Amino acid sequence: MIHRPKPERFRLRRTMMFMNAQKPGLIKDAYIYGCDSIMLDLEDAVAENQKDAARFSLYHALTTIDYGDTEVIVRINGLDTPHWQEDIRVCVAGRADGIRIAKCESARDVKTVEAAVEAAEREFGVEVGRTLLMAALESPKGILNAYEICSASDRMFGVAISGGDFRKCMQTTFQPDGVDMLAARGQMLLAARAAGIQCFDTVFTDLDDSEGFEAEVRQNKAMGFDGKSLINPKQIRLVHQVFAPTEKEVRQAEKIVRAFREQSAAGVGVFTVDGKMIDVAFVPGAERTIKLAKACGMYKGDL
């Protein structure tokens, strides 16, 4: 059996690629495409009478395939279905890194899943607290309750919006400028940042519209998202490109981190870098930039 290291709650998650957990040809080596996380789907991609088969396929993938550094998350079926409890048992038994709660609408939903996860961890002898959670907000109610959802559990690492369902609820359709989901994206980002967790945007489904995709990814970055859900490996490159820091940002971040270390060792709190005032508040952002730069192969220094 493959032993996956303990999942890291806050890691780089620029790209989360969805794939049907029932398709061995897809999931056997999905890590080769270089996305940060893969999202093995037990929900919509799997037909109602195939849920069981998909769980078997998922379990064997989790326990026999070495996904390396690629995070492995599983999207389970909604809490209004007869499937979710068994889905959770399989995820925990196979030591998935995290579970994505579909159609999450309240803190109670998170706590319900958390309780089932903990029970499964005890059942299968998995360290309690190992399995991370994220929530997918797919309805107006989910968006309105975003903050309570984001702060419902220490296992929560992030929240994502699911555009297809959400747009239906709102009686709108995809708009190239993103106005259809502007309020929802904004509200969710506010909630996630307030709760101190990550935030991910929905999939872009028209694979032939590369310009539209790029525009949406750029908007995602500008709004402050951590990453995006994807449906095809060929979308990965662009997201990584857009989310990559510029050379200048990397140089600046390195200076800030180094200066902060020197100055704080010398007992100085506020100082200047290239004429700009810097204090401790700038450091997490700078460290994040370095981490991103490393993931993009842009930074090879010792920080």
| Contact residues for other proteins, defined by CB under 8 A | 29, 32-33, 232-234, 237, 297-298
**Complex with other proteins: residue 26 or 136, whichever CB lies closer:** 26
**Complex with other proteins: residue 17 or 116, whichever CB lies closer:** 17
**Complex with other proteins: residue 16 or 152, whichever CB lies closer:** 16
Least distance (Å) between residue 204 CB and other proteins: 16
Rounded Cα–Cα distance for residues 276 and 252 (Å)? 11
Closest CA to 136 of 162, 172, 164, 113: 162
In the chain, what is the greatest distance between 2 CA atoms, to the nearest angstrom?
65
Least distance (Å) between residue 66 CB and other proteins: 9
Least distance (Å) between residue 161 CB and other proteins: 25
Q: 249-277 in b/e burial notation, b at 16+ Cβ within 10 A?
A: bbebbbebbebbeebeeeeeeebebeeee
**Complex with other proteins: residue 248 or 300, whichever CB lies closer:** 300
Least distance (Å) between residue 241 CB and other proteins: 11
Q: Which helix (H) or strand (E) holds 82?
A: none
**Complex with other proteins: residue 116 or 236, whichever CB lies closer:** 236
Rounded Cα–Cα distance for residues 269 and 280 (Å)? 7
Least distance (Å) between residue 12 CB and other proteins: 16
Residue 293: both structure tokens together:
């730069």
Distances (CA, A) of 105 to 78, 85, 112, 146, 158: 11, 18, 12, 8, 14
